[in-house]
Amino acid sequence: MRIIPAIDIIDGKCVRLSKGDYDTKKIYNENPLEIAKQFEFHGIQYLHLVDLDGAKSKHIVNNKVLESIATRTNLKIDFGGGLKTDEDLHIAFESGAHQITGGSIAVKDKETFLGWLKKYGPQKIILGADAKNEKVAVAGWLEESDEELIPFVQSYQKNGIKYIICTDISKDGMLVGPSFELYEKILSKTMKTETSITGSGVEDKEVIGVNLIASGGISSFEELPRLKEIGCEATIIGKAIYENRISLKQLENYILGNV
């Protein structure tokens, strides 16, 4: 299971929110690049970078932070927050994003999001399926849509989406543990068996599903094996790192297989 630390950006600074509430902002570092370099030093290869200013402004804002981290580390960055237009996407990829995450756009402008999926391919576009009470939330989690989470995910799976980040907003930043049951439900509803006949006439069955990235509520290292056992392809960890609930050394050992 891939380990993906999170850096959320407001005013160019590394912050964390609780339940997506901007009024709960806590600044952890004035220099996101410094944090990113620490992650890389401990063997981490991936980064989830969120432009919270962009999510609120509905257009990309902190692309210079993205560019700084992308050019000065080897981290593979998935970038999200405020990506609404083809130009936003162009700026994100030009600034060094390895993947982008679209959340609100996937709800409010499906045609544009599907156009991105077709143009860049399913390895580059991540569906942000963030929810509260199994309803998809949008606009930096400031609004709740009428979209039911599971059908929303299934509809994009049919259109070729491969990577999905799902955050249970009620748990995000609260250090109360992830939504194991929700992730089990998503995976059970998106797994399908494809049957093919080999050249020798033998029936070959392959189980196909989405790459589900768990996010929100991670509070201890012991939760990681369970997320892997459920079938999560990756997990995003934020406040648990910044509040020293999970050490970078623990994550380094996990990545190296020394646990």
Residue of 8, 53, 78, 88 marked active site: 8
- Measured at the alpha carbon of residue 242, what is the angle toward residues 237 and 247, in degrees to the nearest 5? 75
d(CA 258, CA 9): 32
Label the pairing between strands 76-80 and 13-18.
unpaired
143 token code pair: 């609004």
Q: Is 8 a catalytic residue?
A: yes
Closest to 65 (Cα-Cα) out of 19, 22, 34: 34
Q: Name the one residue in this structure whose structure tokens are 């756009």.
A: 105
Give strand ranges (E) for 98-171: 99-102, 125-128, 131-132, 135-138, 143-148, 163-167
CA distances (Å), 55 to each of 46, 77, 88, 110, 154, in order? 21, 17, 12, 17, 24
List of residues 6+ apart from 82 with CB closer than 8 A: 51, 53, 54, 55, 56, 57, 58, 59, 60, 61, 88, 140
Closest to 48 (Cα-Cα) out of 101, 122, 103, 113: 101
Residue of 51, 88, 130, 168 marked active site: 130
Q: Is 53 a catalytic residue?
A: no
Q: Report the greatest alpha carbon distance in the chain.
A: 63
d(CA 129, CA 113): 13
Residues marked active site are found at 8, 130
